[in-house]
Amino acid sequence: MTEYYNYIKALHLIFVITWFAGLFYIPRLFIYHIEAQQKPEVEREILSTQFKLMEKRLWYIITWPSAILATIFAIWLLVLMPQWLQQPWMHIKLGFVLLLIVYHLKNHLIFKRFQQDDIKYSSNYMRIWNEGATLILFAVVFLVILKSAFSWIFGVVGIIVLGILLMLGIKLYKRIRNKNPEA
């Protein structure tokens, strides 16, 4: 079975990428959906219907299948390489994966509410929420690439700095948008 290891690893990576693509895009659709609620009634109805359809297709055709397949291939890799479970970096990675699953499930709850026209979030909140997947992605990639050479202090500081930069970027975008509503 180890002769298939690289194929399984490649499939795992492909589905992780498509899973993250869905997790990056669904909050962006939520933002557009929220902002459509501020349009005149006819436009709001048309846009809302379209965003619901786009959200539904993204969520059920790309994001959920990718999450499931990425998880199946990850478990398969761990079965092939059980020694990874002995390594501290893998424990931390699995912690981030658990956090990613929680983030995914929270997006699912938000998705279900939006499908029922129950929108209780601001677009600014969703812009901040959208960065959750980014932080997890950065943490996991650096952890997997650097493994035991990873300095925990630099890692924690790096994630905090990235979070601060993302928040500053959101604030800057909000300022630009307030000055130029078409941005």
To which residue do tokens 């992605």 refer?
Answer: 137
- Distance, in Å, from the CA atom of 95 to the CA atom of 92, rounded to the nearest integer, reads 5
22 HSE (CA, 13 A, CB side): 29
Give residue limits of the domains in the chain: 2-179
DSSP 3-state of 120? coil
CA distances from 13 to 20, 50, 84, 131, 150 (A): 11, 31, 17, 21, 21
* Helices 88-115, 64-80: crossing angle, 10 deg rounding: 160
Q: Is 33 annotated as a binding residue?
A: no
Q: Model-level pTM?
A: 0.84
| CB-based contact 36:51 (threshold 8 Å) | yes
Q: Is 91 annotated as a binding residue?
A: no
**pLDDT tens-place string over residues 77-128:** 999 999 999 988 888 899 999 999 999 999 999 999 999 999 999 998 999 8
| pLDDT tens-digit readout, 143-175 | 888 776 556 566 667 777 777 887 788 778 777
